[in-house]
Amino acid sequence: MDINEEELLEATNKKGFKKIFQFNSKQKIQLQGGYINPEDTINLEEGEVITASDGLKYHIFKPTIHDYIMYGIKRQTQIVYPKEAGYIILKLDIRNGKVVGEAGTGSGSLTLIFSELVSEKGRVITFEKNLDFLNNARKNIEKFSKLQNITFVNEDFINSNYENFFDSFFMDLKEPWFYFEKANKALKGGGNFGLIVPTTNQVNQSINELESNNFLVDEIVEIFHRKYKINPNRLRPEDIMIGHTGYLIFAKKIK
């Protein structure tokens, strides 16, 4: 495989087990039952099979951003999952060249997605007052991405002083309403604002406070993913599904 020393790889088997590891790891990679040695992947092409020590076969891939976030990052906080992140991208208009803000950084999963999608011409500024979280997020992101478009700010967003600066802003904070005035000021006119909160009480309070802080509330939405077992002769949904992560709220800065 055409890979550099630091490259991330993913081993996955037919049962859906996935493990993400670094090519240059000196250690054996423990899989479901057995293990593989990273250096044994050196002559493989993407998609090829490697046999683990217990005889189980694994395909080797470079991980997608989805899989890296689900299985590769180190989590110190609850993360915003791809099922929500995908919709956030489109609602907040995160794309080529945009300037995006985020508070807080958490484990950096959304930060990484924003960075990849605004590309070289774009910019991401992310605020996290907890230095441990911020350092962890930075490491998570650097392992996956070479883009240099993120500014990590170790500060509570409440202390920032941006004005008419961001095209879009996303907030994942416990009492987000305390930050709405700041966010409004920091956004450009017509800028896109999004937040996630876990309870209906927080939705109620957020809507009230957005409306009194020059935001036009655009949408309150929950997102569900219903997965099916991969068996075409007995096609049926998984027995258990995620019943709740959070309510997404989207608004636009008005004047």
User: Whole-number minimum distance, CB 171 to a second copy, in Å?
Assistant: 17
State the sign of the Cα–Cα–Cα–Cα dihedral 27, 140, 241, 9.
Answer: negative
User: Whole-number minimum distance, CB 127 to a second copy, in Å?
Assistant: 23
Residues making up the annotated binding site for S-adenosyl-L-methionine are 107-110, 128, 172
Does residue 107 bind a second copy (CB under 8 A)? no
Query: From the list 39, 93, 155, 175, which residue makes contact with a second copy (rule: CB under 8 A)?
Result: 93
Distance CA 91, CA 184 (A): 17
Binding mask 7-46 for a second copy (x = CB under 8 A): -----x-x-x----------------------------xx
Distance CA 250, CA 217 (A): 6
Distance from the first to the final alpha carbon of the chain: 54
Residues in 219-238 at the binding interface with a second copy, rule: CB under 8 A: 219-238
Q: In terms of CB distance, is 26 or 226 closer to a second copy? A: 226
Report the DSSP pairing between strands 35-36 and 99-103. unpaired
| Among the residue ranges 21-29, 35-43, 129-137, 213-221, the one whose residues contact a second copy (CB under 8 A) | 213-221
What is the DSSP track for 89-118?
HHHTT--TT-EEEEE--TTSHHHHHHHHHH
Q: In terms of CB distance, is 156 or 188 closer to a second copy? A: 188
